[in-house]
Amino acid sequence: MSSLHLRRCDARSVNDLVSGGPLTPAVLGDDQRVSLASRFRAVLGNEHRRIDAWSVESAGLASSPFVWTPQHARRTIGRGALRRWHSMNSSHLVSAARDEVDELLVRAAAGYARPGSIAYWLSAQSSAVLSLVVAEATTWASAAIETLAPLELEWSPVDVDVFYDVATARTTLRSRRDAVVSDADQRVVIRFRSGVPAKFAGAGLRADLVIDALGNPRGLSARRMIGLWPDSGIALAVDGTLDDLRSGARDLVRTAVTQQRRQRLVAA
């Protein structure tokens, strides 16, 4: 039976979520990886699929073409500012966000930014837009620190999400993560989202949980996957059990099937 824990997004409640969960998280073995890959290969398609928690929550609806905006850049720059704040123990978040933007601008000026990347986009923006990017990123990082700083267990920011390419299935899975609480071989993964949780936010968390386990070299699941929505004051979590992993895997495959059907309808 899958789990879903609902709490307030405050320091005490998040502490309880971080310290809870199964004592022995589940492990995805080679047989389970092979089985999941075969199910994805059975979903025929001409295009490369990219599936994440949002895809699962929205039942495979096609998203609009991605365009960088200050709001879309807030998490990327905010995570960089959070990393700088954590490593240097600096209280100047605005300066940390500006440093992150400046580093990306230097990369673009040196010719290392690919078209479509955030560095490439930033290099074409005015000072006013760059200031708005810094403000959005500072707000994101401030909300993260307000929740993470009081945690009783040691946490660390995460620079990148988990990407897992399903072998010979033309499918890439992505799991969002913003911070990790590690204790020996166990870990709790935390991600932040804006607004309010969607109706199927629990399914999105389970999808993140199974992708995170697939990306682990040993197939070890996180003890818990926690989703935080500071804007609405809501925290959700799922446990790293085999039931939750199975449920997340089924939802990922179901999303791939739904995407394939929508593509057929468009082609028709």
Residues 35 and 79 in one domain: no
Each residue's pLDDT tens digit, 10-62: 989 999 999 988 888 999 999 999 999 999 999 987 788 899 999 999 876 76
Residues 161 and 226 in one domain: yes
75: in domain: yes
Mean pLDDT of the chain: 91
Name the residue range of residue 156's domain: 5-60+152-267
| Per-residue pLDDT at 48 | 87
Residues 85 and 167 in one domain: no
Residues 137 and 101 in one domain: yes
User: Can you tell me the distance from the alpha carbon of 91 to that of 95, in angstroms, rounded to the nearest whole number?
Assistant: 9
Residue 71 reports pLDDT greater than 60: yes
Residues 159 and 259 in one domain: yes
65: in domain: no
Residues 46 and 178 in one domain: yes
User: Can you tell me the distance from the alpha carbon of 233 to that of 213, in angstroms, rounded to the nearest whole number?
Assistant: 27
Number of domains in the chain: 2
| Per-residue pLDDT at 46 | 76
Domain boundary among 148, 165, 193: 148
Residues 161 and 231 in one domain: yes
Each residue's pLDDT tens digit, 75-101: 999 999 999 999 886 668 999 999 999
Residues 158 and 260 in one domain: yes
Do 130 and 98 touch, CB atoms closer than 8 A?
no
244: in domain: yes
Residues 120 and 137 in one domain: yes
Dmax over CA atoms of the chain, in Å, equals 57
262: in domain: yes
Domain boundary among 129, 148, 167: 148
Each residue's pLDDT tens digit, 110-160: 999 999 999 999 999 999 999 999 999 999 999 999 999 999 989 999 989
257: in domain: yes
Residue 267 reports pLDDT greater than 80: no
* CA distances to 18, 54, 69, 229 from 13, in Å: 9, 25, 33, 13
Residues 134 and 183 in one domain: no
Residues 144 and 176 in one domain: no
176: in domain: yes
User: Can you tell me the distance from the alpha carbon of 159 to that of 109, in angstroms, rounded to the nearest whole number?
Assistant: 22
175: in domain: yes
Residues 249 and 204 in one domain: yes
27: in domain: yes
Domain boundary among 120, 148, 176: 148
Q: How many CA atoms lie within 13 A of 264 on its CB side?
A: 9
